[in-house]
Amino acid sequence: MRTLFVVSGGDAPGINAALGQYVSLAARHGNVVLGANGGFPGLLEGNISPLSFDRIVPWLGRGGSVLPSSRDPVLTQNDARVRLKQVLEQHQVDNVVLFGGNGTLRYIPPILSEWDIPCIGLPTTIDNDVPGTERTLGFDSACNFAYHAIDGALTTAHALRGRIFMVETLGGTCGNLALAVAHGAGAHAVILPEYEYEDHWLGRRLAEAVKQDGFALLVICEGARGARTLADEIPKLTSIRVRDVRLGHAQRGGDASHIDRVLASEMARSAYNALRAKLQTGIIVVRQGKVQVHEGNLQSFTMTPPDRTLYHIINGLEESGEHSGD
């Protein structure tokens, strides 16, 4: 069996750990693993190289991907099918394992299925926004990266009291990452793209936290309203200084956590076994805490919004009877 790995879309911690596990399994059974350099654009150009365990070992616990990725939608080109078939035949590829997020796994596996190319998808994004799975590879690592930054900020919050710390996470228009980080860090407030809020409510909430705890911690998703303006607006509402911490793309590149390394190993093993069993199309998902194979694609699943009850608890809305405007 000759398997080709393709990384499509954003990178995430855990990709290299999954590659290492799969390559190790394949080598034990005399199988060959190849990697596309540069996502599908690189694949269509025939930019493919063998993957060995020795090559991946130095990267196993590191973030990013030993295989460069791409977001270019080249499979929509008129000649993409012919070029892809030619490259796969030239390299004698039997099947494809695909790392990707919501966009990649929603659109690419159905295309490959239509072209009779066996494919297993691994949900890989720090945003945890792939429908049909409870967890995506890289999410836990991104949360842990945020905690390191927040812990550093709160050290200053304890030493220099009377300030508001606003921490912006990645996540795009999905608030799952920001909500999880706010929950784990004990934030006084969290702002998400999915739920509206009132500026004056937020000002009161943060001012009360500073009065009670000596500081306030606000976590906000990059795609939420106010992500670029609240650092200037909050002092006008509260007369309290704001310290703005933006995690940016560094949050995507942290080392893989224990949970993500284990998840990567289980996903890789499930993908390998599914391909050996001749599954045509599947996605490796987590359901009820267990890694399993979903046969087919994710077209029938819809994304659920972040936990509204948890959002209310963090923002103190259930205790006070207030509403944030959501």
CATH 3.40.50.2030 fits 2-138+256-295, yes or no: no
Domain boundaries, the chain: 2-138+256-295, 142-253+306-320
Q: How large is the average pLDDT for residues 293-299?
A: 91
pLDDT at 326: 63
pLDDT in tens, 133-161: 999 999 999 999 999 999 999 999 999 99
Residue 313 pLDDT greater than 90, yes or no: yes
Q: Print burial letters for 36-69: b (CB count within 10 Å at least 16), e (below 16).
A: bbbbbbbbbeeebeebebeebeebbbbbbbbbbb
Q: What is the pLDDT of residues 218-252, one digit of tens each?
A: 999 999 999 999 999 999 999 999 999 999 999 99
pLDDT of residue 300: 84
For range 273-294, the mean pLDDT = 96
Across the chain, mean pLDDT equals 94
For residues 253-261, average pLDDT? 95
**Is 195 a residue whose pLDDT tops 90?**
yes
pLDDT-based confidence at residue 299 (cuts at 50, 70, 90):
confident
Is residue 207 pLDDT above 70, yes or no? yes
> What pTM value is reported for the model?
0.93
How many CA atoms are closer than 13 Å to the CA of 106, on its beta-carbon side? 14
Residue 324 pLDDT > 80, yes or no? no
CB atoms within 10 A of CB 147: 12
Residues 69-113: tens digit of each pLDDT? 999 889 888 999 899 999 999 999 999 999 999 999 998 999 899
Task: Give me the phi and psi of 320, to 5 degrees please.
Answer: -90, -20
Distance CA 90, CA 164 (A): 59
Give the model's pLDDT for residue 323.
58
Rounded to an integer, the average pLDDT of 162-170 is 97
Distance from C-alpha of 206 to C-alpha of 221, rounded to nearest angstrom: 17
Of 214, 217, 183, 203, residue with least CA distance to 312? 183
Mind telling me the catalytic residues?
Answer: 127
Q: Tokens representing 212?
A: 């009670």
Q: Is the pLDDT of residue 184 over 90?
A: yes
The CATH code belonging to domain 142-253+306-320 is: 3.40.50.460
The proportion of the chain whose per-residue pLDDT surpasses 90, expressed as a percent, equals 87
pLDDT in tens, 27-73: 999 999 999 999 999 999 999 999 999 989 999 999 999 999 999 88
Residue 22, both tokens: 């799969």
